[in-house]
Amino acid sequence: MGELYLVRHGQANSGATTEEDYDRLSGLGHAQARRLGDWMRDHEGPFDQVLCGSMRRHRETAKGMGYTPDHIDARLNEMEYFALVRDMEVNHGIRPPASSEDFADHMTQTLNAWEQTTIAGAEPFSTFETRIQAAVSEATKPGKRVLCITSAGVIAMVMRGALGLSIEQMAHVLLPIYNSSLHRFRIRPEGTFLLTFNGIPHLDAPDLADQRTHL
């Protein structure tokens, strides 16, 4: 058996309105990455391969965790959310979300429209899905332990492939993913099987409750 560990980056610049401004860790995001790295060293063995998306927040999270990626793979990059938000407003008259409740509804609407090709964003939904599937397929082999530092949308897409999720279910999986969370899969010749979803053992202590973030 092999194992795949997916890590979502630490909290990014959540007040941003562009991809470029969002793509850097906040002070809390750096702290989350350090805590996760400390926990991994205490509780996990070495990995055969460490992969990382090419976004700044991915690389900063890997560095904060204390890992030097063996390979930077842009196929592990997140969807360009702000491009999708723009297309939803232009093509469907749906304004950007103004609250966390709006964000949940907006994400489901956006993923549906993206899959149905009524919006395009920076890339088609099919391209996003295919590049992630290809990256994971190449990285994961029975008998190997692989760590990937990436983003929530990528993790949700891997979950979709492993569990056969609909778009609505994928959106519901994506929304609660914590910053710096850990997701484990078992790799067998017959497929990829979920072991752990949205783990934050490094933030379990009651006095760290304020460090558990989604955005």
Rounded Cα–Cα distance for residues 107 and 87 (Å): 13
pLDDT at residue 136, as a whole number: 93
Q: Which residue has the tokens 């560095």?
A: 63
Q: Which residues pair with 50 in a beta bridge?
A: 147
Digit-coded pLDDT (tens) for 195-205: 999 999 999 99
* pTM score, whole prediction: 0.95
Rounded Cα–Cα distance for residues 60 and 57 (Å): 5
Within 10 Å of residue 195's Cβ, how many Cβ atoms? 12
pLDDT at residue 111, as a whole number: 97
**Nearest CA-CA partner of 140 in 198, 177, 68, 190:** 190
How big is the CA angle at 104 (ends 99 and 109), to the nearest 5 degrees?
115
Digit-coded pLDDT (tens) for 135-182: 999 988 888 999 999 999 999 999 999 999 999 999 999 999 999 999
Digit-coded pLDDT (tens) for 87-125: 999 999 999 988 878 888 999 999 999 999 999 999 999
